[in-house]
Structure 1
Amino acid sequence: MTEARTEARTEARKRDSLAIGAVRRDFAPWLDPHAKPLIRFDQVTKRFGDFVAVDNLTLHIYEREFFCLLGPSGCGKTTLMRMLAGFEEPTQGKIVLGDQVVSGIPPHRRPVNMMFQSYALFPHMNVEKNIAFGLVQDGLPKQEIADRVAEILRLVQLTPFARRKPDQLSGGQRQRVALARALVKRPKVLLLDEPLGALDKKLREETQFELMDLQVNLGMTFLVVTHDQEEAMTMADRIAVMDRGTIRQIAPPGQVYEQPASRYVAEFIGDVNIIEGRIAASDAGRLRIARTDGEGELAIEAPPGVATQTGQEIAVALRPEKLVLHREPPAGAQNLLSGEIWDIGYLGDWTIYLVKLASGQIVRVSRANASRFVEQPLTWDDKVHITFAPEAGVLLTQ
């Protein structure tokens, strides 16, 4: 019987996984011109004295979307979330939730709930009472409170810990209590401000997937603020990359990484190498780029819909994992950079090589450690050559 129950649970998890995968794969309401956003920031500006925290920003978020505001400290992402929650009011513009302009509505009257980075659990209350606190304040019947608390405890896998106090829990368990307390009121939108910042790396990575699964199962809209690129790339349906109160790009994670709209986005998301140059010629969908350092030309694919002209100064973005290291220059390579290994970083699954070119520029190359042993491994001061495919280079005009 025990083996049968284990197999049944395994099959159930597989079915849930397939369902969640199908939902996330097919979800893209922003591509539907008839889809109506759940949240609209329309030309919103927020000033604190002379400082402009949010600058004439327009943003649409859709129902059931897992949306992430990503950017460095001071870029305006938390201010944007606090305005939606009702803790700040816009200086100009309007915020619409559903069909209602929310300006002037106090936080407790808005159909949103916010989970803070600090968790803010009541130390004298057990898990069950911490979660139930908001429902008690709203005056719900005792039986409904008990049922909703039991349901959310099951969803966040905390049922065995219901009677424990916060100081008897691990950091990950306290994070789940805070999440459950925010979810139990069944808001239209859950706001999460750096929700995983207090967790260690391994637990943070595990919790990212749990949050994704929970969001799909609840059918709720999540808006997350973070400065952690990996966190945003893992969890979000779409990412808004923010800079000094403005949005530089809004797109799904893969598009933000592979097709950055600007040099700022390319440099902020992941590791990147930037090669400066100017357009020397264009032929059959390929651009020839004369390198600024005078070390030859590069060939890259011309991006569709981007106007370019001969002589135009541009930059080429190259992701480290798309570069290939060679001991000898391969014959017929269209794109060749030569130098010597300046430094090496071993990360277990990857090795990072810093290659110093003749111009003095350092180029970062990532190589997957696919086998345990490497014959004649590359080492410091080795002369090497770097190649990449024309489609690997991303043209940056701004």
Structure 2
Amino acid sequence: MVDKSSRAIGAVRQSFAPWNDPSARPLIRFEGVTKRFSDAVAVDSVTLDVYENEFFCLLGPSGCGKSTLMRMLAGFEEPSGGRILLGGEDLAGVPPYERPVNMMFQSYALFPHMSVEKNVAFGLKQEGLPKDVIAARVAEMLKLVQMERFAARKPHQLSGGQRQRVALARALAKKPKVLLLDEPLGALDKKLREETQFELMDIQIELGTTFIMVTHDQEEAMTMADRIAVMDAGRLVQVATPGEIYEQPRNRFVADFVGDVNIVDGTVTGREPSGLWRIAAPGAAGPLAVDDPDESLDPGQAVAVAVRPEKMTVSRERPEGENAFEGEVWDIGYLGDWTVYRIRLDDGRILRVTRANTTRFVERPIDLEERVFIGFLPDAAVILSS
């Protein structure tokens, strides 16, 4: 078995990782926070730390409690139990306008009768700052979001992406310690959303402001966040870096929610001296061999083997090794950079395999209704016991 202790999981974007430093103090701490609405529990005993300068994401399906958690931090909702600390101080009883936190809403909420410049200046004027300070700060923010040329325009004269930039500039103008982003890119088209993701990351790094984003878009969270908290039914399911969330999901929910995955149910039959677990799985050509560091599995235990589609191969010949399935090509989706194959096994189950299109031409392309083999390496899979 290959020693994984010295290997990074996923792409490493920067060395910033205060959560791995036992001496680091979090900027924000949720301590056993619960929120009830009548008999419904929206947030259930959440304990979570967020560090200064971190781009943090709350990810989960609709109704999982992520927006409620952020609204409690902003002061728009009060916890039913537990407490929220910012910079070591309890926020209980502190009104929203006195918290060093600002929020950018999905709707942007720009004032339609005001120019871009006046929209950005609004919060600064409310604080009674001198005119020269306001003018300098507005100019700085418009330059940051590349909207200097549009200072005199009204919101209705701007595109969706431009309105998003104005809303961001207004939210950052007061120099909050924490910026809260509620589905910030939901109104943008796919291509503009992808471009804006990287722009937001660059702005966050340049300013050093702590960003907390709420989204149900897995790709958005994976692209932008330093860490992701996956939520389900008001609880935290897993908190980790994007690479760890994707490559080492804690349970079946995380594996299935974040990205595409093939999940095969099976039973542990034992462990080899090399460290590989043996899993008996219906439909497989033989016992599956999985390189997983989990030491707690027992023979006879029911588990699931999760493999991402891009880590599987599809071919006309049986692959080397023991991890093989045989089936028929049921569907083919050509996406340009990738081709997606849906393979129907003899027992009716469908497995997905993706193949990168690295060349323009393919000799003897695999076609519909062909009999093919699917394979994967032992270290490509993860064993899920829950």
Fold shared by both chains (TM-score > 0.5): yes
| Counterpart position of 1:134 | 123
Amino acid paired to 2:36: R
Moved runs in structure 1, 4+ residues, more than 3 A?
Answer: 292-295
Counterpart position of 1:368: 356
1:314 aligned onto 2:306: no
Offset of residue 333 of structure 1: 2.2
Residue of structure 2 in register with 1:84 after alignment = 73
Decide which of 375, 379, 382 is 1:391's aligned counterpart.
379
* Equivalent residue for 1:223, pick from 201, 212, 219: 212
Q: CA RMSD in A?
A: 1.1
C-alpha spacing 1:118/1:151, structure 2 compared with 1 (3 Å): same
**Equivalent residue, structure 2, for 1:352:** 340
Please give the secondary structure, in 2, of the residue aligned with 1:182: helix
Which ranges in structure 1 are unaligned for 5 or more consecutive residues?
A: 1-22
Q: Shift in Å at residue 103 of structure 1? A: 1.2
Unpaired segments of 5 or more residues in structure 2?
Answer: 1-11
SS at match of 2:14: helix
Higher share of residues assigned helix: 1
Contact 1:303 1:395 in 2 (8 A): no
CA-to-aligned-CA distance 1:4-31 (integer Å, 9 cap, x gap) = xxxxxxxxxxxxxxxxxxx951100000
Amino acid at match of 1:205: E
Residue 291 of structure 1 aligns with which residue? 281
Per the alignment, residue 97 of structure 2 pairs with 108
SS of the counterpart of 1:130?
A: helix
Superposed counterparts of 1:99-178, under 5 Å: 99-178=88-167
1:18 maps to none
**Equivalent-residue separation in structure 2 for 1:391 and 1:302 (angstroms):** 7
1:127-157 CA distances to partner (integer Å, 9 max, x unpaired)?
0000000001111111100000000111000
TM-score, length of structure 2 as denominator length = 0.95
Secondary structure at the aligned position of 1:315 is classed as strand
Equivalent residue number for residue 19 of structure 1: none
Aligned partner of residue 26 in structure 1, secondary structure: coil
Q: Deviations over 1:278-322 (max 9, x none)?
A: 011201210110014575311111324x41111111000010000
CA distance in 2, matches of 1:219, 1:85: 19
Residue 358 of structure 1: how far off its partner (Å): 1.2
Encode CA deviations 1:237-283: one digit per residue, 9 max, x unaligned: 00000000001000000000000000000000000000110011201
Whether 1:240 and 2:266 are equivalent positions in the alignment is no
Which amino acid in 1 is paired with 2:290? I
Question: 2:199 is paired with a residue of what secondary structure?
Answer: helix
Q: Distance in 1 between matches of 2:284 and 2:331?
A: 24
Alpha-carbon distance between aligned partners in 1 of 2:99 and 2:275, rounded to the nearest angstrom: 52
Aligned AA for 1:88? E
Q: Please say if 1:379 is aligned against 2:367.
A: yes
Distance 2:360 2:226 in 1: 35
Q: Contact 1:238–1:252 at 8 Å: present in 2 too? A: yes
Contact 2:57 2:212 in 1 (8 A): yes
Q: Kindly provide the CA deviation profile for residues 164-196 of structure 1, in whole angstroms up to 9, marking residues without a partner as x.
A: 110111110000000000000000000000000
Q: Distance in 2 between matches of 1:273 and 1:302?
A: 16
Please give the alpha-carbon distance, in whole angstroms, between the structure 1 residues aligned to 2:94 and 2:317. Answer: 67
The answer on whether the counterparts of 2:262 and 2:306 sit within 8 Å (CA) in structure 1 is: yes
- 2:286–2:323 CA contact under 8 A, matched in 1: no
Percent identical across equivalent pairs? 66
* 2-structure distance, mates of 1:27, 1:112: 22
> 1:343 touches 1:355 (CA, 8 Å); kept in 2?
yes
Residue 133 of structure 1 aligns to a residue in which SS?
Answer: helix
CA deviation after TM superposition for structure 1 residue 370, in Å: 0.7
